[in-house]
Amino acid sequence: MPPIELISGFIGLVLTLLIFSYLIGDNPLFRSAVYIFIGTSSGYAAVIVWYDVLLPKLSVLRADNPSQFVLGLIPFLFGATLLAKPFPRIAWLGSFAMALLVGVGAATALSGAVIGTLIPQSKASMDAFVSPTFLQLIEGVVMLLGTVLTLVYFQFTAKRTADGTVKRNAILEVLAWGGRVFIAITFGVLFAGVYMATLTAMLERLSSMINFVKPLLGL
């Protein structure tokens, strides 16, 4: 076995065992592995940001075109103002840049939810009723019910009754209960998917450990 593969395999074996030590409870070995993972991830993210974000922007600052220079300078000015946020006296300098970040982020998330989820889901529900077979009709009905009932579950308008209590319409309550059923099914499927992915990763690590140890033992 080449030395590089031997060293990398040994490090992977040790880190895997450190993670598996959590099975006996939270302990310094497990925390050490977590700290190594966080530190490595942070260093990798810093390198990616430097080479894929900052350096390309710095090259724009060296452009001969004045308009490109100004467009490249604006992000750096906003970034510099954000560095003032930890200091209360000058934190107001970063408020405008922070407002831009929050506004653009909210707009992106909202447009992504509408364009990438709500509209395709509605279109898929309608397409299921265009010349469907019996099975496609059943799927379309279930999809339409799931979409409508889930949306009804997040409808919170209610009226105040004579005794002062706030209560939703009885029909909406029934429909909302159906929405909770679809939401519970969705969460169950997502949990099963996460569990299967975790189980697959664990089996891969166990198989890797076995394949690494067997040649060392002459098996």
Q: The tokens of 99 are what?
A: 């407002």
Does some domain include residue 172?
yes
Say how far apart CA 123 and CA 163 lie, in whole Å: 43
Does some domain include residue 200?
yes
Q: 87-98, pLDDT tens digit by residue?
A: 888 888 888 889
Say how far apart CA 74 and CA 58 lie, in whole Å: 12
Q: 101-157, pLDDT tens digit by residue?
A: 899 999 999 888 888 887 887 777 777 777 777 787 888 788 888 888 888 888 777
Nearest to 13 by CA among 198, 207, 218, 219: 207
Say how far apart CA 110 and CA 91 lie, in whole Å: 28
Say how far apart CA 25 and CA 38 lie, in whole Å: 20
Q: How many domains does the chain have?
A: 1
Mean pLDDT across the chain, nearest whole number? 82
**Using an 8 Å Cβ cutoff, are 143 and 124 in contact?**
yes
Say how far apart CA 31 and CA 29 lie, in whole Å: 5
Name residue 68's amino acid.
Answer: Q
Does some domain include residue 106?
no
Beta bridge partners of 166: 160
Q: What is the pTM of this model?
A: 0.57
Q: Whole domain around residue 174: which residue ranges?
A: 131-208
Does some domain include residue 178?
yes
Does some domain include residue 193?
yes
